[in-house]
């Protein structure tokens, strides 16, 4: 019976927490607690006594969680999942998705695995969405910079928009740099000179 | 840039300087290495990434490689310490409230500070440290064990949040690497009481570590990495290079810290409290001089002993400090080698000349605050 596992999710971002808790809920785990404020980590781990703690691999509070796992009483000691490297694929999948899990020592692997697989799938989606969002933001920023650089060239050299872009691209190719880098340099220089 | 790509993990603290400079000053490139420095969000993440092969090498807290090799704390793996990256560089401080309760204590007097803290009434002192398997925590335990009645509670806090933790009252005191002690002082929430070297004058703080299997299979890359880092450490310890080092580090994307936060650690000029007098701490952070990068097997033994290891585990710990590789790989680039690979830790009260490959070399004092010594066989006297 997998449904009676106690799962703690440590994650400051409320949207992300909801995603993970929902995903776990849909898969049948209802005894899930989310923790955003890590200053309560110590007490929550003691009071809630989770069987599994899920935390983003990149969360700096992992070190705190590790410490709590050393000092808890031995029969309830949580250990980093990676200690049990019996399933190399699962470990690598968790790492790639950015999930780290702490599980109570001695818990059967076949009980943990479905929880982790659910978490990995969800983390993966969230990570992908985040990187797409970041890429879109960056592309928008780059576009603005290049537009400004084109505008400067059009004003200063009396070029058309296409000519200005061609000039930027040529300068970039000649210097072995990216168009955005040349555009950035031009914008910075223009700001300094204005 | 072409060359062997080497993924090296690090945590952005001032003492990752040898790695950053090995890259930025081209020492790695000279060795044909494309040193890819990979920032890690926590020590546990760094440990996992190294153990599971996502990193080739890493900057580590010196007790981490020992703990992993003897199977303590999370993930066990056979990890070699190739060389010491930095010696000392940590500070102990208390919140303004605790400082007021203690009254005036001479800065850097470990015995006086301990005496005052032990005499304090009230709840156990909550002390923030960056990680359980850190030199900070070992020095804290060693130091406070001299006051058996003193009640302390160890709290793990990521260094960049240490000042917040003090401000919020989450911790009463902290033992942390620079710049985070100076940051807490700068925000006027804490005062520095002493530095790590007031408890142990020559404590290996960070090490360059790699998986044992990887080291065996990549002996040539290991040699080139060690040489690059050796050159960077040597450059860093030249006094006239320090202002430039601060500037390079502050501009580096790897550290993301302003120059005024890097300077105290590199120059050894600390400000213990707002409005107080700055102090100059000799050998506050050492990278190269006094054989600082030599991975003494007796240092590994001391660490293992503090972690409760004995017998075979102690031997394992000693063997993972690779003095053999240090000798083999760095003699050709002019590293002076001590005659022995182990010393009686804590026995040097003053700068002392010892036998070396080039005749003699100067070792810095390595005394403990309580005057005890530790010999590699694990006997404290």
Residues B61-106 have pLDDT tens digits of 999 999 999 988 777 789 999 999 999 999 999 999 999 999 999 9
Tell me the whole-structure pTM to 2 decimals.
Answer: 0.86
Q: How far is CA B140 from the centre of its chain?
A: 14
- The pLDDT of residue A1 is 44
Among B298, B372, B337, B343, residue whose Cα is nearest residue B62: B298
Among B312, B318, B335, residue whose Cα is nearest residue B234: B335
Regions in chain A scoring below 50 on pLDDT:
1-2
**CB-CB contact of B274 with B36 (8 Å):** no
Q: State the CB neighbour count (10 A cutoff) for residue A173.
A: 12
Q: How far is B201 from chain A (nearest CA, A)?
A: 27
Omega of the bond leading into B179 within 30 degrees of 0 (cis):
yes
Which residues does B contribute to its contact with A (CB < 8 Å)? 41-45, 48-49, 51-52, 54, 73-76, 130-132, 154-158, 160-161, 168, 170
**CB-CB contact of A74 with A104 (8 Å):** no
Q: Are strands B152-156 and B90-95 parallel, antiparallel or unpaired?
A: unpaired
| Residue keyed to tokens 């033992």 | B175
ipTM score of complex: 0.82
Interchain CB distance below 8 Å, A64 and B45:
no
For B357-363, the CB contacts below 8 A with 24+ separation are B357/B331, B361/B291, B361/B336, B362/B290, B363/B290, B363/B291, B363/B338
Please name the member of A63, A68, A82 whose beta carbon is closest to the beta carbon of B131: A63
| Helix-helix angle B297-306:B311-320, to 10 degrees | 140
Q: State the CB neighbour count (10 A cutoff) for residue B183.
A: 19
Interchain CB distance below 8 Å, B156 and A59:
no
DSSP codes of every residue in B167-187: HTTS-SEEEEETTHHHHHHHT
Residues 6 or more apart in contact with residue A155 via CB below 8 angstroms: none
Eight-class DSSP state of B321: B
- The pLDDT of residue A86 is 63
Q: Is A72 helix (H, G, I), strand (E, B) or coil?
A: coil
Q: What is the pLDDT along chain B (381 residues), one digit of tens a residue?
A: 468 999 999 999 999 999 999 999 999 999 999 999 999 999 999 998 998 889 999 999 999 999 999 988 777 789 999 999 999 999 999 999 999 999 999 999 999 999 999 998 888 999 999 999 999 999 999 999 999 989 999 999 999 999 999 999 999 999 999 999 999 999 999 999 999 999 999 999 999 999 999 999 999 999 999 999 999 999 999 999 999 999 999 988 898 889 999 999 999 999 999 999 999 999 999 999 999 999 999 999 999 999 999 889 999 999 999 999 999 999 999 999 999 999 999 999 999 999 999 889 999 999 999 999 998 664 554
Looking at chain B, how many residues does it have? 381
Q: How far is A168 from chain B (nearest CA, A)?
A: 24
Q: State the CB neighbour count (10 A cutoff) for residue A41.
A: 20
Percentage of chain B beyond pLDDT 90 is: 87
Residues 6 or more apart in contact with residue B170 via CB below 8 angstroms: A39, B126, B128, B155, B157, B164
Q: How far is B368 from chain A (nearest CA, A)?
A: 27
Cα dihedral value B163, B167, B168, B172, nearest 10: 80
Alpha-carbon distance of A5 to A8, in angstroms, equals 10
Contacts A82 to B, Cβ<8 Å: 48, 51-52, 74-75
Contacts A66 to B, Cβ<8 Å: 44, 73-74, 131-132, 156
Please name the member of B41, B51, B132 whose beta carbon is closest to the beta carbon of A59: B41
- The pLDDT of residue B78 is 92
């Amino acid at each position: 019976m997998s449904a009676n596992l106690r799962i703690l999710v440590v994650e400051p971002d409320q949207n992300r927490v909801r995603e993970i808790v929902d995903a776990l809920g849909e898969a049948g785990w209802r005894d899930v607690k989310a923790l955003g404020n890590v200053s309560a980590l110590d007490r929550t781990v003691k009071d809630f006594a989770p069987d599994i703690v899920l935390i983003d691999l990149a969360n700096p509070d992992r070190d705190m969680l590790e410490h709590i796992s050393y000092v808890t009483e031995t029969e309830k000691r949580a250990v980093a999942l990676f200690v049990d490297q019996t399933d190399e694929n699962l470990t690598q999948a968790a790492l790639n998705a950015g999930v780290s899990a702490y599980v109570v020592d001695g818990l059967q692997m076949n009980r943990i695995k479905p929880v982790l697989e659910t978490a990995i799938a969800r983390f993966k989606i969230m990570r992908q969405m985040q990187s797409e969002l970041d890429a879109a933001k960056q592309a928008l920023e780059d576009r603005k910079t290049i537009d400004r650089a084109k505008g400067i060239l059009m004003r200063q050299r009396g070029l058309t928009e296409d000519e200005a872009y061609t000039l930027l691209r040529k300068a970039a190719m000649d210097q072995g740099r990216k168009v955005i880098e040349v555009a950035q340099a031009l914008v910075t220089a223009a700001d300094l000179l204005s | 840039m072409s060359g062997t790509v080497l993924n090296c993990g690090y945590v952005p603290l001032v003492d990752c300087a040898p790695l950053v400079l090995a890259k930025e000053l081209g020492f790695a490139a000279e060795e044909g290495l494309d040193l890819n420095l990979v920032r890690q969000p926590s020590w546990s993440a760094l440990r996992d990434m190294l153990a599971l092969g996502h990193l080739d090498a890493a900057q580590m807290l010196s007790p981490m490689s020992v703990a992993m090799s003897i199977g303590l704390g999370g993930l066990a793996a056979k990890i070699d310490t190739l060389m010491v990256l930095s010696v000392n560089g940590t500070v102990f401080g208390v919140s303004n409230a605790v400082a007021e309760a203690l009254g005036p204590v001479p800065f850097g007097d470990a015995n006086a500070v301990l005496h005052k803290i032990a005499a304090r009434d009230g709840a156990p002192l909550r002390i923030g440290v960056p990680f359980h398997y850190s030199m900070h925590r070992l020095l804290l335990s060693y130091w406070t064990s001299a006051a058996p009645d003193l009640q302390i509670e160890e709290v793990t806090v990521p260094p960049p949040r240490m000042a917040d933790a003090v401000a919020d009252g989450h911790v009463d005191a902290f033992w942390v690497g620079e710049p985070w002690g100076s940051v807490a002082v700068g925000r006027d929430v804490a005062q520095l009481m002493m530095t790590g070297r007031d408890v142990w004058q020559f404590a290996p703080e960070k090490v360059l570590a790699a998986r044992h299997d990887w080291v065996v299979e990549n002996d040539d890359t290991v040699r080139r990495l060690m040489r690059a880092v050796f050159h960077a450490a040597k450059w860093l310890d030249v006094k006239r290079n320090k202002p430039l080092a601060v500037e390079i580090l502050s501009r580096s994307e790897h550290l993301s810290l302003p120059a005024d936060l890097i300077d105290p650690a590199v120059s050894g000029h600390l400000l213990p409290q707002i409005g107080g007098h700055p102090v100059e701490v000799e050998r506050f952070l050492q990278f190269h001089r006094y054989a600082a990068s030599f991975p003494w097997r007796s240092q590994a033994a001391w660490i293992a002993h503090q972690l409760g290891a004995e017998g075979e585990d102690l031997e394992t710990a000693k063997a993972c400090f690779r003095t053999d590789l240090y000798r083999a790989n760095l003699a050709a680039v002019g590293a002076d080698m001590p005659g022995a690979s182990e010393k009686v830790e804590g026995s040097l009260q003053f700068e002392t000349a010892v036998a070396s490959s080039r005749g003699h070399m100067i070792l810095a004092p390595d005394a403990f605050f309580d005057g005890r010594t530790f010999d590699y066989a694990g006997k404290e006297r």
